[in-house]
Structure 1
Amino acid sequence: MKDRLGSIIYVGKARDLRKRMSSYFMASKKTRADLKTRALIDTIADFEFHEVRNETEALLLEGKLIKDYRPRYNIQFRDDKRFLLVKVKLSDPWPRFQMTRMKKDDGSRYFGPFAHSGALKTTLEWLNRRLGLRTCRPRVPGETEYKHCHADVIRNCSAPCVDRISKEEYLEKVEEACRILEGKGRREIFDELETEMQKAAGKLNFERAALLRDVVENLRKTLSPTRQFTRGRGVPTTVKPLEDLADLGEALGLEGPPKVMECFDISNVSSNHIVASMVRFTEGRPDNQNYRRYRIRTVEGQDDFASMAEVVRRRYSRILLENAGAVPEADESQEDVIEIQRRLAKEGRARIVLPDLVIVDGGKGQLSSAFKELKRIGLHDLPVIGLAKQHEEIFRPGRSEPLLIPHDRGALKLLQRIRDEAHRFANGYNELLYRRRMKESLLDDCPAISPKKKQLLLSKFGSVARIRKATAEELSAIPGISEKGAEAILEWLG
C-alpha cells in the first residue's frame, strides 16, 4: 500500500487479495477498527501487487519487502532478524551442516532461506541421523572428541573422526544431503517415508508411524520450492532508476542524468546528539558502501543551517583532500576545481568521485548554508538543490521561486527516495547514540566515584534511585568509600 507521494506504508499478504483488500474499505470494518488501522485506511492512495507461487514464497517476500522499505504501519519483520539458511563448508575435512542467518563469502555452500524454522530444525536433525552425518563443533574431530561423544553409540553418527567410515563414503553422504536440501528426488523420499509409515501403522507401531508423519510434514514445509528474492531481481517493481535519472536531469536542466547523487539530512532530536547523514545513489540505486554519518562538532544547540554548513564543508573538503595526491604540483592548466575532479574521475585516478548532484533536505535556509560552503572551497558550479518536505518544493541557488515537479513523475519519486533514505540513516544513527547514552549512568559524571566504586554501588543497591534513598553510613560501608565521599555522592545525586 502506498500514500499519495508513492511511499510504501504497508506490506501484507493474502491468499484471496480481492477479499483482503475489500475488507479495508467496508464501512462497518472501518468503524470497528483501531486508530492505527483507520489512519492506514485514510492514507492509502495506491496499491502494488506481486503474485507468488505458494505461501512460503509469500512469507519470504513479505519479510524482505518490510526489511527493505520499513513501512510505517508494519510491526512484524522490522527487526534485523533474517530467515534461516543452512550452510556446509565442503572444503572442511569432515563437513557438517549448520544453521545461520547471515550469508557470507566464506567458500561455504548455502541453502535457503527457509520460512519455517521449526520444520527446518527437525528436518536437519532427521537428515543427520538418516545419513550418519556429524553434528559436533570441532573442525577436525579426532579420538579425543570421540571419547566424550555418544552419537556413534546411539547410531546417530557414522563416526568419521575414528575412521569408522572412509572419507569418500562420508563425502558421498554429504552430497546426498545437499541434493535433498536442493529438493532433488523429493518425490522418491516422500514415497519411501509414507511406505514406512504405512508399514509401521500396519504393525500397530503407532509411535513410529506418528514420528514418520511429522518428518514428512516438516520435509514438505522445508523443501517447498521457493525463489530467492534479492534486491532488484525476481520482484517486479514500478521503480525505473535509469528512466527516473533521465527525467530528473531534464527537469533540473542539467547537462545529463546525475549518475552520482549525494543527499544530506540533519537529525537533532535533542541538543545532546546532533547528527547528520550523507547517502549516495549511483545509477539511481542506493550505494550503501558510500554512506557516511557525522556527529556535529562546531554547533551548539539546535541550528539546522549551521549544522548543514558544517557537514557539507567536511564532506567536500575531505574529497578534495583525498584527491589532492593525484594532482601534480606543477599542474598549470586553466581548469577549475570541478573540471580537475571530473578529469581525475574519468582517468580513474580520483579516490572519491565528486557527485553530479548534491541534495540537501530542507528549504532555502539549508540550501543557502550548503551553497556558501561549496563556494568557499571552490565548488560553486557543483549542482546543488534543496528539497522542502512539506510541499515537495525544489529550491535552487539564485532563484527565489521553487520548482514544482508533478508527483507522478519519476524525477520527483527519485528525489523522494534518496531524501527518505538519508532521513532513515540519520535517525538510525541518532537512535543508536541515544541508546548508548541511556546505558550510561548519572554516576559516570560524579567526580567522587571511580568506575570500580560505581560497579560496587550498583551491585549493592541495584539502581541510582536506591542509592539516593540510602544514608551516608550505608554508602560508607562499601569498601573504598569514606563518609566524606558518601556525603559528596549524595549531594551530587541531589
Structure 2
Amino acid sequence: MKDIENHVLYIGKAKSLKNRVRSYFQPSSDHSPKIARMVCQVENIEFLETRSETEALVLEARFIRELQPKYNTRQKDSKSYPYFIISKEDYPRCFIGREGEYTLQEDFEFHGPFIDAFSLKRSFKILQKTFAFRTCHLNLKKESKKKFRPCLLYSVKYCSGPCAERISYKDYREDIASLRKFLEGDTEKLLTKLENEMQQASQSLDFEKAAKWRDQIQSLRNLDKKSSPPEDIPDSFFPVPPQESLQKLKEILNMPYTPRIIEGIDIAHHAGKEAVGSLVTFIDGIPAKEGYRRYKIQSLQTTDDYAMLKELVYRRFSGQDKKRTLPDVLLVDGGKGQLHAVQSTLEKMKIQITALLSLAKQKEEIYIPEQSSPLAISEFSIVHHLLCHIRDEAHRFAQSYHHHLKSKKIKK
C-alpha cells in the first residue's frame, strides 16, 4: 500500500487478496486509530503473486526489512528466517543459522529458508542422529595427521567422530552427500539408494554397515510421522555466542586449549532423605541432554553434603560412566568446602581434570583449588554468565529428581 507520494505505507500477504484488501475499506470495519490513519493515506496498491505461501512469507519479511514501511510493526529488524547450513570444508560441519550472519557466504551451503524455526531445530537433531555429522568448530583437513579426542556426541552416536578418524574421509563425505539429497527433497531416491547399499552390505556380510543403513532408513521414514517433539538438545539464550565465553574462560584459567565439554554437578536432599545427585553436560556452551545423569545417593543416610558429593564423583568416574569422555571443565555447585571434597576424591581415583571450579550461590563467587580467594571475575562478565547457567541447570536437574522421589514416597 502506497501514499500519494509513492511512499510504502504497509506490506502484507494474503491467500485471498480480494478479501484482505476489502477488510480495510469496508465502512463497517472497526479499525484502530493507527490503521484508520493509514487507510486514509492509501492511494495505490501493488501486488506480487507468488508460487507458495512459504515464498510469500519470505518475500514479505525481506521487503519489510528493506523498505521499513511506516505502518508495519513486526519483522522490521535485521533477523531473517533460519537456514540449515553446511560448511564447504574437507569434513563439512552442519548448523542452523541466518543468511545475513555470514559475510563469506561462498564458504557455506544454505538450505532453506525454514519458516518454523522450532521445527527446524527438532528436525536438525533427528538428522544429526541419522547422518552423524559434526557440529564442532575444529579445523579438520583431509591430509592432516593431527587427531583430536572425540567428544560426548561421538559416544552417544550423534557424531561419527571424523576428528579422531573414527570414520574415513570417503564415508563421511558420502553421509553428507546423502544429507544434501534429503534437504533438496530427493527423499525417495535417497531411500532407494540406502536400501540398495544396505542389501549390498548384508550380502557381503558387512552387518555393521548394513545396520547403519537400516537405522538411517528407519529414521528418515519416521521423520514426517513424528507428532510430538523428541527430547532434543535445547537452545539457551546468551547475550554473546557461547564460543566467545569459552575462549574467555580458557584465558582466565590459562588452559592449553579452548574447553568444549563442561560438566556441572550438584546434590539435593531434605535432612538427608531422598538424597540425589545430578550431572549436566554442556558441549560448546550448549546443554547436551544425552550427557545428563541423575544418581540416587545410596551409601549414606546423613546430612553430610561433602560425603554425598564424594559418592557422586566416584560414581561418575567409575562403572559404566567411566567410559565417557572426561570433561574439560568440572563445575561444582558450592564453595571451597565442596570444591576440596571433589578434588580429594578425584586425586584418590587418579582422575585428572584440566580445570576444576566451584561456584557458590550466596555471593556467586568462583573458586579453583590453587588459591583460597575467589577468582576476580565480574558477575556481569560473559564467563560468569555461562558458569552460572551451567550451575543453575545442575541445581534444577537435582531438585526435580529430589521432588520426584519425595512425591512418590508421599503417595505410598
TM-score (norm. length: structure 1) = 0.37
Which structure's CA Rg is the greater one?
A: 1
TM-score (norm. length: structure 2) = 0.44
